[in-house]
Amino acid sequence: MLKPATIILGSLLFILAGCTTVPNDAPPTDWVTNNHEQNNEVARPPAAIPHLPPLVIITNAPAVKSNTPPAVTKTKTLQPATVPVFSWSSLNRWAIAHRLAQPHLLTKSPLTTYAISSSRGNMVLAIGSREAAWNGVTLHLGFAPEFIDDQVFIHGMDLQKNLEPLLIGPPLTPGSNRVVVIDPGHGGINGGTVSVLDKRAEKDFTLDWARRMKPRLEANGWQVILTRTNDSDMALSNRVMVAEAHHADLFISLHFNSVAPDQRPAGLATVCLTPMGLPSNLTRGYPDIVSQSFPNNDFDAQNLQLAERLQRALLHATAMEDRGVNRARFTGVLRGQHRPAVLIEAGFLSNPSEARRIADPMFRQKLAETVANAL
Ligand SMILES: [Zn+2]
């Protein structure tokens, strides 16, 4: 689980925090860790990669007009050294370069909102908001679109890493092995969060969800490996190694959320690794070094496609609130993966209504079947 704090910023943006109650004076532990597990997990924020060359972004659009305001120039540097130089591009010109129809205005209130479409669907982008929507599913951009000279400008890395994979990129295809690793979050002394109803631990619900998923996936032709099959504690690094050892094509980590004692937040979220050059929308107090890259960044496009696919399928099956496809760098269980990897948070155990649903075996069966069928 993670721990969201909600920020109202035009539309709802949110920051998800830790899997267990986290002391205010210390950074929270990683996703699959809790306070008992810090000794063998990635319990500290990642360090910067030294001597990383500047990231040069090449966009398909021509340079920004010369009379653009200083806020959006062709290149700008956020911070020295670790932050790459980046560019902004006119969405109109990007559309022309990719033979797409011009973006069209949807509304001017409460935010000026545009849509750009391809044969795959519609991307809705709001000026000044990092929140976007792909065919109705919430996504989080690295940078809020800006409006300059009557045109929408998008950060070059957002075009490359968020718009391209969904609008025009090659579709997600399962690997040739059809091996998927399912990771039931937590285990053993690492219980994760607990239900507000009866204190039952997250680790029990995630294991049950994974066990229900296995036969459904196998019926669909997948070889399925669970990182744990009983109530055992397991280091983050070992969960990654399970996927390595089995040459897995996909990795999916299962969790439930909590913001106890706040009982109000609800909804379903997926998380995948933030592409290099973009800020995360989830940081949980960790430094978010945009110039860092991890093995799993080789799968940026597929991570987004997989997360979006799972988020959409689960929202459709459960009618839960959409907390979107989220981007994080601190997720040790994801970032070392040499395959598309996604983490799912299927509701809040701190919300009585959602805790009741999560406690229902039929609901967990639905989660299992939905994920299995979405693959
Ligand atoms: Zn968890």
pLDDT, tens only, 280-291: 999 988 999 999
Distance 190 CA to ligand 1 centre (A): 9
pLDDT of amino acid 143? 96
pLDDT of amino acid 172? 86
Distance 236 CA to ligand 1 centre (A): 12
CATH code given to domain 70-97+99-167: 3.30.457.10
Distance 101 CA to ligand 1 centre (A): 42
Please check whether residue 167 is in contact with residue 118, taking contact to mean a CB–CB distance below 8 angstroms. yes
Distance 32 CA to ligand 1 centre (A): 6
Distance 343 CA to ligand 1 centre (A): 9
- From-to residues of CATH 3.40.630.40 in the chain: 179-374
Distance 221 CA to ligand 1 centre (A): 28
Distance 345 CA to ligand 1 centre (A): 7
Distance 2 CA to ligand 1 centre (A): 6
Q: What percent of the chain has pLDDT over 90?
A: 72
Identify the band that residue 349 occupies on the pLDDT scale cut at 50, 70 and 90.
very high
pLDDT of amino acid 38? 30
Residue 75: pLDDT above 70?
no
Distance 50 CA to ligand 1 centre (A): 31
Q: What mean pLDDT is predicted for residues 80-104?
A: 81
Residue 338: pLDDT above 70?
yes
Q: Return the higher-pLDDT residue of 125 and 40.
A: 125
Distance 151 CA to ligand 1 centre (A): 42
- Long-range Cβ contact pairs of 43-52 (< 8 A, separation 24 or more): 45/286, 45/287, 45/330, 46/286, 46/287, 46/289, 46/292, 46/329, 46/330, 48/82, 48/287, 48/289, 48/291, 48/292, 49/289, 49/291, 49/292, 49/293, 52/82, 52/291, 52/292, 52/293
**What CATH superfamily is the domain 179-374?**
Zn-dependent exopeptidases (3.40.630.40)
pLDDT of amino acid 320? 98
pLDDT of amino acid 1? 56
- From-to residues of CATH 3.30.457.10 in the chain: 70-97+99-167
pLDDT of amino acid 128? 96
Q: What mean pLDDT is predicted for residues 78-102?
A: 76
**How far apart are alpha carbons 124 and 193 in whole angstroms?**
34
Please check whether residue 193 is in contact with residue 20, taking contact to mean a CB–CB distance below 8 angstroms. yes
Residue 90: pLDDT above 70?
yes
Distance 234 CA to ligand 1 centre (A): 13
**How far apart are alpha carbons 282 and 274 in whole angstroms?**
9
Please check whether residue 4 is in contact with residue 14, taking contact to mean a CB–CB distance below 8 angstroms. yes
CA torsion through residues 154, 158, 160, 163, sign: negative
**How far apart are alpha carbons 356 and 200 in whole angstroms?**
11
Please check whether residue 257 is in contact with residue 1, taking contact to mean a CB–CB distance below 8 angstroms. yes
For residue 37, the Cα-to-chain-centroid distance in whole angstroms is 23
Distance 346 CA to ligand 1 centre (A): 10
Q: What percent helix, strand, coil does the chain show, rounded to 5?
A: 25, 25, 45
pLDDT of amino acid 28? 35
Identify the band that residue 173 occupies on the pLDDT scale cut at 50, 70 and 90.
confident
Residue 204: pLDDT above 70?
yes
Residue 132: pLDDT above 90?
yes
221-254: pLDDT as tens digits: 999 999 999 999 999 999 999 999 999 999 999 9
**How far apart are alpha carbons 329 and 128 in whole angstroms?**
23
Q: Return the higher-pLDDT residue of 302 and 20.
A: 302
- Terminal CA-CA length for the chain: 23
Instruction: Compute φ and ψ for 299, nearest 5 degrees.
Output: -115, 30
C-alpha distances out from residue 56 to 86, 169, 304, Å: 7, 21, 22
Please check whether residue 332 is in contact with residue 38, taking contact to mean a CB–CB distance below 8 angstroms. no
Which H or E element spans position 348? strand 341-348
Residue located via tokens 């910067």: 48
pTM to 2 decimals? 0.80
Residue 7: pLDDT above 70?
no
Distance 31 CA to ligand 1 centre (A): 6
